[in-house]
Amino acid sequence: MPCLFRACQKGDLAVVVQHVSLNFPGPKVANNAASALYIACCEGHTDIVRILMDSQQFDPNQKNYRGYSPLYAAYRKHHMDIFQMLLVDPRTDVNTIWVEEEENRVYDFSDEVVMLLLQHKSFDINRPFWMEQKIRYRLFYERKTRSKKTTFLQHAIENRALTMFTIIMKHPLLNPNICVFCEKPIIIAAHEEKANNIGMFRALVRHPKTRPNALNKDGKTLFHQIVLTNHWRQIYEMLSHCPQIKLNIPDSTGKTLLDFCDEKWLNIINQQTISKFFMNLYDNVVKELGTKIQSTRKKLELSRQFSNMTCREQMADWSKSTKKKMFHYLMYIAKRLFHTFMVVQEDPVYWDKKIEDAFQEIRSNWKVGQMLYTFKIVRIAQLPHEMFKEIVKWF
C-alpha cells in the first residue's frame, strides 16, 4: 500500500481514502513529528484535509518538531478554506497557531485571519507577539514594513480598525491594561483621538476591567499618562467615568498629579497660550496688513520679522511670569512691529484694537487643574460623583 504521508503531499485522494477506511494502524506522524493532516494543510489539499478531519483519527493539534501545528501551516501557506475548516472543528485548539518554541517569531496576520481568530472565546487575545506592520509615514528609501511587538488590541487602535476593535472589546478574556513597551492601549488611543475622533478612547475608559490606578513600568499610573497627553476632554472622560481614581498616588519622582499641576502646569499652559496668541495674530492681523502693503519686499520683511519674533518669544522661559505681565509685553512688541509697516494713512488705533482682540480670543487650558482640584474636593466632601459632572459644566 502506498505511503499515506506521500499521498497527502501529492494529493492522491484515492490512497488517502483507502488508508482512512481501513483505520490504518501504522504511525500517525512522520519522522519529523509532522502528521498526515499537517502535510495536507501545508500542500493545500482541501478534500484530503476534510477526509482526515471527518475520520477522527488525526489530532488537529499535533505539532511537528519545530512547533508548527496544522492551523499554523494553513495560515502560513494562506489556505483560508482549510484554515476555516480547522477552526470550525471543536477539537482544534485555536491557540496552537502560536509557535511556542520561537518567541521572536514574526506573524503576518491579515484582517481576515484576525477576525476568524477573535470569534473563539478561548483564544489568547492578550498575548504580545511580533507582527509585520506597514509603516504609515516613511521615506522613499525605507522599508515598507517593520516588525513590532504588539497585541491585537493595540494593532486595532493603531490601524483605526473599528470593526476589529469592537469585536476585541466584547471578548470575555480581554485585559485592556496589558502594557507593551511601557505604552498601554488606552494611551495610544488617547494620541489617536486627538487627530481622529473615533471613540476608541471612550470605549476603553468605560471598559469594566480598566484600572486607572495601576502603576506602569516607569512608575506612573494610567491617569498620570493621560494628564501628560494634555487633552482636557480625555481627562474629563476619565474623571467622570472612573470615580475610583486616586490623585494622591506619587510617580517615580514622588510627585502626585496635584503637584504636577502646581509646579509644572503653569509653564505648559503659558507656552500653549503664547502659540495660540501668535496664531490669532497671524490670522487676524498679519494677513490683513499684508494686503495693505504694496511692496513685495516689505511683505517678505513683515513675514520674516514676525516669524523671528514668534520663535524668540515661544522659546523664552515664562515660568516665573504672570499671565498679565507676559501678555502686556507680547502685545507691546507686536504693536511696535506692526507700526513700522503701517502706511501713513492707516489708523494705529485700529491695528492696536485688532492685536488686543487676538488676545481676547484665547481660551487657555486651565480646565485640567480646575477639574483635578474639583474632583479632589468632591471626594473629600463625600459628595455624589454626579456633583463633579455638574460643577465642571460651569468651567
The Cα–Cα gap between 10 and 6 comes to 6
State the burial class of residue 362 (Cβ atoms within 10 Å of its Cβ: 0-12, 13-18, 19+): middle
Instruction: For 216-228, write each residue's pLDDT tens digit.
Output: 777 778 888 777 7
pLDDT digits (tens, 9 = 90+) for 230-257: 677 788 888 888 888 888 888 777 777 7
192 and 200 in contact (C-beta within 8 Å)?
A: yes
Rounded Cα gap, residues 326 and 275, in angstroms: 13
User: Residue 50: which H helix or E strand, with range?
Assistant: helix 46-55
More confident residue, 257 or 345: 257
Residue 367, C-alpha cell as written in the block: 480646565
Measured between alpha carbons, how far is 78 from 46 in angstroms, rounded to an integer?
12
Exposure of 141 by Cβ count < 10 A (0-12 exposed, 13-18 middle, 19+ buried)? exposed
Quick check: 2 pLDDT over 80? no
**157 contacts: CB under 8 Å, gap ≥ 6:** 165, 185, 188, 189, 192, 200
* Residue that has been written with the C-alpha cell 502626585 in this structure: 256
Cell numbers standing for residue 293: 502693503
- pTM of the predicted model over 0.75: no
Average pLDDT over every residue of 285-290: 80
127/67 Cα distance (integer angstroms):
17
**Range ranked top by mean pLDDT from 3-7, 83-87, 183-187, 368-372:** 83-87
Rounded to whole angstroms, the Cα distance separating 313 from 275 reads: 9
pLDDT the model gives residue 364: 45
Mean pLDDT of 79-83: 93
Per-residue pLDDT, averaged over 310-329, amounts to 68
pLDDT of residue 189: 86
Lowest-pLDDT range of 21-25, 34-38, 198-202, 215-219? 21-25
Give the separation between CA 225 and CA 183, rounded to whole angstroms: 9
What would the mean pLDDT of 349-356 be, rounded to a whole number?
Answer: 78
